Amino acid sequence: MAIEYARVKAKGQVVIPVDIRRKFHIDEGTRVAFLEDKGRLFIQPVTDAFIDSMKGVLAGRGLPERVEKGRDRDL
C-alpha cells in the first residue's frame, strides 16, 4: 500500500495527488464519497463501477434517516 500526503486548506479543501487521480480515473467533476470505518477515513471515487458494486448492500434495511430527509438534495 502506497501512502501519499496532502494538507487541508482553510476551506477544508484537499488536493488529491496526481498519481492517485490518474490511477483511479478521478477527473475534474468526479464525485468522491467519504467513508468512515472504525475511526479511519477513506475517499472513494463515485464511478459507475462503484455504484454497481453497492447495489443490494442495503437491501431490506430501509434508508437511514439522514438519507431519507435529504434524498431530494443533490450530493
pLDDT at site 53:
80
pLDDT at site 47:
83
In this predicted structure, the answer to whether residue 6 has a pLDDT above a threshold of 90 is yes
- Per 3-state DSSP, the chain is made up of helix, strand and coil in percentages (nearest 5) of 25, 15, 60
The residues, any chain, with a CB within 8 Å of residue 7's CB and separated by 6 or more, are 14
The residues spanned by each domain of the chain are 1-57
* Residue pair 17/24 in contact by the 8 Å Cβ criterion: no
d(CA 19, CA 39): 25
H-run or E-run covering 49: helix 48-54
pTM of the model: 0.59
Q: Where is pLDDT greater, at 24 or 52? A: 24
At residue 64 the predicted structure's pLDDT band, cuts being 50, 70 and 90, is low
CATH class as words, domain 1-57: mainly beta
